[in-house]
Amino acid sequence: MQSPPRDLPDADVLDVVRRGWDATTLSLTHLPVGYGSHHWAATAAGGRRWFVTADATPDDGTVEALAAAYAVPAAARAHGVAGAHGPVAAADGALLHRHGTWSVSVQPWLDGAAGGFSDRWPDAGAEAVVRLLADLHALDAPSTPARPEDPALPGVDGLVAALDRCERDEPLAGGPLAGVVTGLLRPHTAAVREALREDAADLPGATVLTHGEPHPGNVVLTADGPVLVDWDTARRAEPERDLWLVAARTDLDVAAFYADLTGRTPSPARMRRRERRWALADVAAYVVDLAAAPAEDADTAWQLRSLRGTLEELGR
């Protein structure tokens, strides 16, 4: 996120880190990166550096699901997947410490270079990422802490409610941006409804342990190879949940390369469905968050641009 959370001061985050992970932590700085979670760089005695994350967790169920996801990279490393980097346990053994409606996690600083969400990989880079995903997918899923993916589209209820209001020619309720969101969504209600019907179609497949968002912004290139970070979306699901996003960022035939590595050929239909679901989940999140936003800031400006582009893409 581009702006720090309004209800989580840096001083509170620093206090959580000191009490839970490293009492010698001296300072932290908010990092304007990513979407959804908030991140800080923390510096401690002896030159130690930490990457600190705060996720919105409004209820106990959200905390439990996040803790299960954040336990995946440690389990993956224990099973030989070196390119899995995630939170470390606090002094009390917990991966998360709750602070109000937020949950804070800490991981060692990772030296390397991450890309941007829309960056493209050369063939060699994509091959390295697919190899890493193949290793992850090969783990014995029942023995890992990740939960099965919820078949329901995240945020679908809020999106359907917004579509209903638009189709009744009623503005969305909420803050000062609700009218802008209504104007963006109303011309595309038919396309979004059709995409929701397609998403609900049953395309079952064998499930594996997936990361969920292996785009260039979540892959850090290190001296030892690519490393996957940001594991909050780790779930058991079809391999296509990961593979479509790599395929969208390279000219490499990802499906063919993955089939050569694993002996399993990805389904083109599931790859297309996963791409469409990603777009729908973005629309659902943007519509609800923007309509409720109390004011415009750098994050809402970015969300409005993304919502406009994603709706146009669904319309095409």
- Note the pLDDT of residue 109: 96
What's the rounded mean pLDDT across residues 290-313?
Answer: 93
Give the β-pairing of 38-44 and 25-31. Answer: antiparallel
Burial 256-270 (b: 16+ CB within 10 A, else e): ebbeebbebebbeeb
CB 181 within 8 A of CB 172: yes
What's the rounded mean pLDDT across residues 47-63?
Answer: 95
- Note the pLDDT of residue 141: 64
Nearest alpha carbon to residue 13 among 98, 110, 90, 107 = 98
Q: What is the pLDDT of residues 7-20, one digit of tens each?
A: 899 999 999 999 99
Of residues 44 and 315, which shows the higher confidence score?
44
Rounded-to-integer distance, Cα 260 and Cα 53, Å: 37
CB 212 within 8 A of CB 75: no
Nearest alpha carbon to residue 67 among 271, 283, 232, 247 = 232
Q: What is the pLDDT of residues 249-277, one digit of tens each?
A: 999 999 999 999 999 999 999 999 999 99
Q: What is the pLDDT of residues 195-250, one digit of tens each?
A: 999 988 877 788 999 999 999 999 999 999 999 999 999 999 999 999 999 999 99
Q: Which residues contact 75 (CB under 8 A, 6 or more apart)?
A: 139, 143, 144, 145
Nearest alpha carbon to residue 148 among 79, 56, 214, 68 = 68
Of residues 210 and 143, which shows the higher confidence score?
210
Residue 95 has pLDDT above 90, yes or no: yes
What's the rounded mean pLDDT across residues 25-29?
Answer: 95
Residue 74 has pLDDT above 80, yes or no: yes
DSSP the chain: --S--TTS-HHHHHHHHHHHT-TTEEEEEEE--SSSSEEEEEEEGGG-EEEEEEEE--SHHHHHHHHHHHTHHHHHHHTT-TTB------TTS-S-EEETTEEEEEEE---SEE--TT--B-HHHHHHHHHHHHHHHTS-GGGS-PPBPPSSPTTHHHHHHHHHHHHTT-PPPSSTTHHHHHHHHGGGHHHHHHHHHHHTS------EEE-S--SGGGEEEETTEEEE---TT-EEE-THHHHHHHHTTBSS-HHHHHHHHHS-PPPHHHHHHHHHHHHHHHHHHHHHHHHH-SS--HHHHHHHHHHHHHHHHHH-
Confidence of residue 315 (pLDDT cuts 50, 70, 90): confident
Residue 316 has pLDDT above 90, yes or no: no
Confidence of residue 156 (pLDDT cuts 50, 70, 90): very high
- Note the pLDDT of residue 42: 97
Residue 4 has pLDDT above 90, yes or no: no
